Amino acid sequence: MGNVQQSVTRFDPKAPVRISVRPRSGRQRNDGVKSHNSRKSLVEVLAARYPVIRRLVGELSFRIVARRFILSEPPSIPIAPGFGDTFPRFLRGQSNSASFEYVADIAELEMVREKARRAPDVLPLAAETLLSPPAEWLNGLRITLHPSVCLVQSRFPIVTIWENTQSDDENGMIDRWRAEAALVARPFLEVEVRRLLPGGYTFLRAISKGQTVGTAVRAATAATSKFEVASNLALLIEANVIVGIHQPDELNSSMNRGKSHHDVH
Q: Are 141 and 104 in contact (CB under 8 A)?
A: no
* pLDDT given at position 95: 84
* pLDDT given at position 247: 80
Length of the chain: 265
Q: Domain residue spans in the chain?
A: 1-118, 120-265
* pLDDT given at position 136: 65
* pLDDT given at position 99: 85
Around 14, how many Cα atoms within 13 Å sit in the side-chain half-sphere?
0
Mean pLDDT by 10 residues, the chain (265 residues): 49 36 40 47 93 93 94 84 93 88 95 96 83 69 95 95 79 75 96 97 97 95 95 93 82 42 34
